[in-house]
Amino acid sequence: MKIKINPEYEHLRSSILEVVAGNYVADKVFCHRRNIVEKITMKGKEYVVKTYKRPNLCNRIAYTYLRKSKARRAYEYALRLLDNGVATPLPVAYVEVKRGGLFSTGYFFAEYIPDALMSDAFNGTVQDGEKAKLSKDFIDFTFSLHAKGILPLDFNSSNIFYRYDEESGHYKFALTDINRMKFGKVPSTSAVMHSFEQFGVQVDGLYKLAVYYCVQTKADVEYSIFIFLFHRIKSRIKRTMKRKAKRGMKEK
């Protein structure tokens, strides 16, 4: 087993090992699908732990010898985002567990933040009048990410926290679920529109976001919307084919 703990959280080592051993009770379960995301308490303070599903054999070999695990990337990318002035829950630790000499599963620990998610904002928790301001501030945040050469590859509304900052009069944002990121250069229009397509809200809202982004960055609006719709249709076809494949498996 490999364990990497942020020096500021070394006092949590024994508690982290207890969680990995399964000796804990979750305060709340946020997600229990492919991966498990839970809120836990360690030493009287709230944290989040993400337990990654055991990958297939090919990926177990890859994570052992060729690639960094998702848990390690989440930890290292969090530090990198913070160094670039981008908010994300403070990384506490990551753990990699091996079975039979190969990577088996990983754990990523981070501080818990109580902010709301953008998915909630676009599904009715924010009034229409305030939603326009939230959307504008969100595009400004997204533009600042891209200007720094940062492109989240899982840029959906369930992975972005938001809160209103009274002092500045603007909404502030923080990224989570960050093990898939690109760093280093300003992303292309195609890459940006693809990330917007992942956002997971109604197409009219996404259209407005995309147009506003193009105005801010002086990108070609018609070309950008074409790329955006291309990725949206591609995703819809993919989902339809998956549903048909599952239906066919059940009928056999």
Please state, rounded to an integer, the average pLDDT across all residues of the chain: 88
Q: What is the pLDDT of residues 54-106, one digit of tens each?
A: 999 999 999 999 999 999 999 999 999 999 999 999 999 999 999 999 999 99
Q: Look at residue 235 in the predicted model and tell me its pLDDT.
A: 77
Q: Look at residue 124 in the predicted model and tell me its pLDDT.
A: 61
Cα gap 15→20, rounded to integer Å = 9
Candidates 193, 188, 205; CA nearest to 232 is 193
Cα gap 244→139, rounded to integer Å = 36
Q: Look at residue 227 in the predicted model and tell me its pLDDT.
A: 83
Low-confidence ranges of the chain (pLDDT < 70): 122-128, 200-205, 246, 248-252
AA letter at 203: V
Cα gap 138→162, rounded to integer Å = 9
Tell me the whole-structure pTM to 2 decimals: 0.85
